[in-house]
Amino acid sequence: MNCKQALLALVLAGGALSLQAQHRPTPAAKPKAKTAADPALTASITRGAVVYKNVCITCHQADGGGVPNMNPPLIKTQYVLGDKARLAHIVLAGLAEPIEIDGEDYKQHMPAQAYLTDQQVADVLTYVRNNFGNKASAVQVAEVKAVRATLK
Ligand code: HEC
């Protein structure tokens, strides 16, 4: 490589680098608009997916389909899409009452996951409410906190 070629290679490499830098997302710089790409919502869903994989997946499965007659599905159920306080209560206090979902009976107990932080509960429920074909509003940390306060 002669001197000119080396210089050209450097310039090209530099250009590629700055292009890469431009393509890196800068969430902080984005406007806080309530659009489909709401960065706060996206971040919560991303964190919630990790909690789901660590905690809920063993029972409710990767596709949220659950295990028939053992662990109920999390797909468009009234619990998942309905009242957020009741939903947070299920995660913080567990559930031990027979329920019926899509014509199937479930009577195993769900153990409380109260060791999760308010943020983790909010994130995992926001993830569940926006995954598995579900579409519902985010669960806020304050909403989880309020439910936890009633359990003490
Ligand atoms: C050890 C297994 C187990 C784990 C772990 C578990 N669940 Fe459950 N879950 C159950 C069972 C069993 C029920 C039904 C309980 C009943 O009928 O009283 C249930 C019920 C539910 C329900 C209400 C019914 C429905 O299907 O909509 C929701 C919502 C729910 N779980 C969400 C979660 C989330 C979110 C996590 C993780 C933070 C989680 N569960 C972790 C076993 C589990």
Give CA torsion, residues 136, 81, 45, 75, to 10 deg.
Answer: -120
Task: Quote the CA–CA distance of 134 and 87 in Å, as a whole number.
Answer: 14
Helical axes 141-151 vs 84-93, angle rounded to 10°:
60
What is the CB-side half-sphere exposure of residue 150 using CA atoms within 13 A?
A: 12
pLDDT tens, 87-135? 999 999 999 999 999 999 999 999 999 999 999 999 999 999 999 999 9
Residues with Cβ within 8 Å of 149's Cβ and at least 6 positions away in sequence, in order, are none
Mutational pocket test of ligand 1: of 50, 57, 71, the residue with most ligand atoms within 8 Å of the beta carbon: 71
Q: By alpha-carbon position, which residue is closest to atom 39 of ligand 1?
A: 56
User: Which domains are delineated in the chain?
Assistant: 36-151 (1.10.760.10)
Instruction: Inform me whether the pLDDT recorded for 31 exceeds 60.
Output: no
Q: By alpha-carbon position, which residue is closest to atom 11 of ligand 1?
A: 110
CA of 5 to the centre of ligand 1 (A): 63
In three-state secondary structure terms, 104 is strand
Instruction: Inform me whether the pLDDT recorded for 19 exceeds 70.
Output: no
Mutational pocket test of ligand 1: of 47, 51, 56, the residue with most ligand atoms within 8 Å of the beta carbon: 56
Instruction: Inform me whether the pLDDT recorded for 25 exceeds 90.
Output: no
Give CA torsion, residues 54, 57, 58, 62, to 10 deg.
Answer: -130
